[in-house]
Structure 1
Amino acid sequence: MTKLKVALAQMDIAFGAPAQNFEKVAAFVAQAAEQHADIVAFPEMWNTGYALKQLGQLADVNGLETQKKLSQLAKTYHIYIFGGSVAVAADQKFYNTTYVFDNEGQLLSTYQKVHLFGLMHEGDFMAAGQQASHFDVLGVPATNVICYDIRFPEWLRKLSAAGSQLIFVPAEWPSVRTPQWTRLLAARAIENQSFVVAINRVGQDPDNVFGGHSLVLDPLGNELLCLDDQEQLQVVTIDLAEIDKIRGEIPVFEDRRVDLYYD
Structure 2
Amino acid sequence: MKMKIAIAQMDIAYGNPEENYIIADRLIQEAVEENPDLVVLPELWTTGYDLERLDEIADGKAAESIAFLEKTAAQNGVNLIGGSVANRTGNGVENTLLVISKDGKLVHTYSKLHLFQLMDEHHYFIPGTGTANFELEGRGFAGFVCYDIRFPEWLRKHASKGAEAIIVVAEWPKLRVAHWRSLLIARAIENQCYVIACNRAGSDPKNVFAGHSMVIDPWGEVIAEAGEGEEILTAEIDFDKVKEVRGIIPVFEDRRPEHY
Same fold (TM over 0.5): yes
Residue 130 of structure 1 aligns to a residue whose secondary structure is coil
Kept in 1, the 8 Å contact 2:142–2:167? The answer is yes
Give how far 1:140 is off. Answer: 1.4
The answer to which of 19-28 and 187-196 deviates more is: 19-28
Asked if residue 65 in structure 1 is aligned to residue 64 in structure 2, the reply is yes
Mapped partners of 1:48, 1:118: distance in 2: 19
Q: Which residue of 2 aligns with 1:127?
A: 126
Letter in 1 for 2:160: A
- 1:6-85 counterparts in 2 under 5 A? 6-85=5-84
Q: Distance in 1 between matches of 2:227 and 2:234?
A: 14
Unaligned runs of 5+ in 1: none
Q: 1: distance between equivalents of 2:83 and 2:137?
A: 18
Mapped partners of 1:89, 1:215: distance in 2: 30
Tell me how far 1:203 sits from its aligned partner: 0.6
- Counterpart code for 1:105: G
The Cα shift of 1:92 comes to: 3.8
1:161 aligns to what? 160
2:198 is matched with 199
Whole-angstrom distance in 2 between the partners of 1:226 and 1:255: 32
Show the 5 A alignment for 1:95-134: 95-134=94-133
Query: In structure 1, what residue type is equivalent to 2:122?
Result: G
Alpha-carbon deviation of 1:137? 2.1
Q: How far has the Cα of 1:136 moved from its partner?
A: 1.7
Q: Supply the AA of the counterpart residue of 2:12.
A: I
Residue 33 of structure 1, CA deviation:
1.6
* Shift in Å, 1:238: 1.1
One-letter code aligned to 1:165: E
Secondary structure (helix, strand or coil) at the match of 1:145 reads strand
Q: Which amino acid aligns with 2:230?
A: E
Please state whether the residue corresponding to 1:196 is helix, strand or coil: strand
3-state DSSP class of the match of 1:9?
strand
Do the aligned partners of 2:9 and 2:213 also contact (CA within 8 Å) in 1?
Answer: yes
**Residue 189 of structure 1 corresponds to which residue in structure 2?**
188
Question: Tell me, what secondary structure is at the counterpart of 2:83?
Answer: coil
Show structure 2 runs of 5+ residues with no match.
none
Within 5 Å, which residues of 2 pair with 1:210-249?
A: 210-249=209-248
Q: SS of the residue aligned with 1:49?
A: coil
What's the counterpart of residue 252 of structure 2?
A: 253
- Which residue does 2:179 correspond to in 1? 180
Report the RMSD for the aligned CA atoms in angstroms. 0.7
Counterpart in the other structure of 2:170: 171
Q: Secondary structure at the match of 2:96?
A: strand
Q: Kindly state the Cα deviation for residue 133 of structure 1 after the two structures are TM-superposed.
A: 1.7
Question: Matched residue of 2:209: which SS?
Answer: strand
Give the TM-score taking structure 2 as reference length: 0.99
Instruction: Name which of structure 1's ranges 19-28 and 7-16 shifts more when overlaid on structure 2.
Output: 19-28
Q: In the aligned structure 2, how far is the partner of 1:32 from the partner of 1:136?
A: 22
Q: Alpha-carbon deviations, 1:71-91, whole Å to 9, x = none?
A: 000000000000110111111
**Which digits, 9 at most, give the CA deviation of each residue in 1:15-51, with x for residues without a partner?**
0000110111111221222210000001101100011
Tell me the distance in 1 between the aligned counterparts of 2:177 and 2:119. Answer: 16
Secondary structure in structure 2 of the residue aligned to 1:179 = helix
The amino acid across from 1:76 in the alignment is Q
The answer to whether the 8 Å contact 2:225/2:233 transfers is no
Q: Distance in 1 between matches of 2:108 and 2:26?
A: 23
For residues 32 and 138 of structure 2, what CA distance do their matches in structure 1 show? Answer: 19
- 3-state SS of paired residue (1:210): coil
Taking the aligned partners of 2:88 and 2:37, their CA distance within structure 1 comes to: 30
